[in-house]
Amino acid sequence: MDLDLIRSLAIPGTSKIVLLSADGLGGFPNPATGRSELETARIPHLDALARRGACGLLRHVAPGITPGSGPGHLGLFGYEPLRYPVGRGVLEALGIDFDLLAGDVAARGNFCTLDAEGRITDRRAGRISTERCAALVDRLRRIRIPGVELLVEPVKEHRFVLVLRGSGLSGHLSETDPQAVAQPPLPVHALSSEARGTAEIVNRFVAEARPLLADAAPANMVLLRGFDQRPALPRFPEVYGLRAAAIAAYPMYRGLARLVGMDVLKTGSTFADEVRTLRDHWDAYDFVFLHYKDTDKAGEDGDFPAKVAALERLDAALPGIEALEPDVFVVSGDHATPAVLRAHSWHPVPVALAGQYALPDAVERFAERACGAGSLGTLPAHDLMPLILAHALRLTKYGA
């Protein structure tokens, strides 16, 4: 859906919208029982939401394509993920709450191990501790290159972020990570002519990093990939005509919301904190994006019972949100993370959209197979925002 069309149809209103994204919501049947995490969990409030709402399944990128967290959330926000790509370096920076400015070039960095001949023996430097990573990042911060500001931030274990700040930079660069061992790191080259200067800067950074890390084996070198600039996305509040806020305990999701121009509200580390923050700011916003992380974490760990428990905790928190009486309340997720796969997957994700003008369908359970029979059908995730706005009576008709 074209965002310019939505922008041209959006009208003011007083209705309030809550979009709750349970990360990695979708699952897959446990072979022992034949029932998925959602089909196993006792989730009476989510089931009631499904009964009173219109249900369906969301597909975030395209059939068969497993979404990363970036594309998954952009889809939920109404941005067609294939049309609005976000680079790996940018997502990594967002994931540590780094305030990326327009024009900055961000890259994902790994510390790695080189042998005496300069060939990579471990692309992750034996997964050094986060403390060690921070200490080595301090060494990299000594590097100075005229005309550009270099910002290096530790992430977790062997991972860090490199940000170049200055004028005329470009992220159109090849990667130094050959994605294989027994080879030396690659020099960066410009993938378009305007990136030549940036390529030189990066190569110089890498050259200066090597002696600084010479005695730091197994973390005696760096690999850089996913160079990109912050994409210029249409601003969510302007496209939809909504005062929009995001509440998320995890930095990545705050970063994604900031990328589209939502206000990011300060909150605590639990979902109860998030719901409290929602209540505290209820009057100031028309739209709140609320993020719940535990479902994804349990799925990634392959812990089926933990994912069931995470769903039941989410369900228990629902009355606290519903007490605020949002005009439109939507629950879905950014992708599936079935415990049996221990990873994101391509399976479409349940969605329930409740509100005065949402047609209740025959769906009685908030789960994959039940929602698959819902009245929304299986739809691209980026079609959800226009549906939400419509149900909030915030879109005028198209054509006379």
Contact present, 232 and 100 (Cβ < 8 Å): no
| Residue 22 beta carbon to a copy of itself: minimum distance, rounded to whole angstroms | 18
User: Which string of x and - marks every residue 90-119 that binds a copy of itself (by CB under 8 A)?
Assistant: -xx---------------------------
Applying CB under 8 A, among 12, 14, 63, 180 the residue interacting with a copy of itself is 63
Applying CB under 8 A, among 24, 70, 255, 355 the residue interacting with a copy of itself is 70
Report the alpha-carbon distance of residue 227 to residue 170 in Å, rounded. Answer: 9
Beta strand 287-292 pairing with 17-22: parallel
Report the alpha-carbon distance of residue 139 to residue 158 in Å, rounded. Answer: 14
User: Which string of x and - marks every residue 221-260 that binds a copy of itself (by CB under 8 A)?
Assistant: -----x----------------------------------
Q: Which 289-328 residues touch a copy of itself, going by CB under 8 A?
A: none
| Residue 19 beta carbon to a copy of itself: minimum distance, rounded to whole angstroms | 14
Applying CB under 8 A, among 11, 65, 101, 284 the residue interacting with a copy of itself is 65
Q: Does 214 bind a copy of itself (CB under 8 A)?
A: no
Report the alpha-carbon distance of residue 20 to residue 392 in Å, rounded. Answer: 16
Q: Does 390 bind a copy of itself (CB under 8 A)?
A: yes
Which residues, in sequence order, are CB contacts of 41 under 8 Å at separation 6+? 308, 309, 311, 312, 315
Q: Does 152 bind a copy of itself (CB under 8 A)?
A: no
Contact present, 333 and 24 (Cβ < 8 Å): yes
Nearer to a copy of itself, 71 or 218 (CB): 71
Q: Does 14 bind a copy of itself (CB under 8 A)?
A: no
Residue 167, token pair as written in the block: 């004028």
Nearer to a copy of itself, 282 or 346 (CB): 346
Q: Does 121 bind a copy of itself (CB under 8 A)?
A: no
| Window contacting a copy of itself (CB under 8 A); options: 77-85, 240-248, 285-293, 311-319 | 77-85
What are residue 351's DSSP bridge partners? 56
The label of the residue with tokens 């916003």 reads: 285
Residue 362, token pair as written in the block: 């025959």
| Window contacting a copy of itself (CB under 8 A); options: 193-201, 262-270, 307-315, 334-342 | 334-342
DSSP string, 77-98: TT--TTTS---HHHHHHHTTT-
Report the alpha-carbon distance of residue 242 to residue 288 in Å, rounded. Answer: 10
Q: What is the Cβ-side half-sphere exposure of residue 255, based on CA atoms within 13 angstroms?
A: 23
The label of the residue with tokens 């996305």 reads: 233
Binding site for a copy of itself (CB under 8 A): 1-2, 5, 9, 28-29, 34, 61-72, 81-82, 85-86, 88, 91-92, 226, 338, 340-341, 343-347, 357, 359-362, 368-369, 372-373, 375, 377-379, 383, 385-391, 395-400
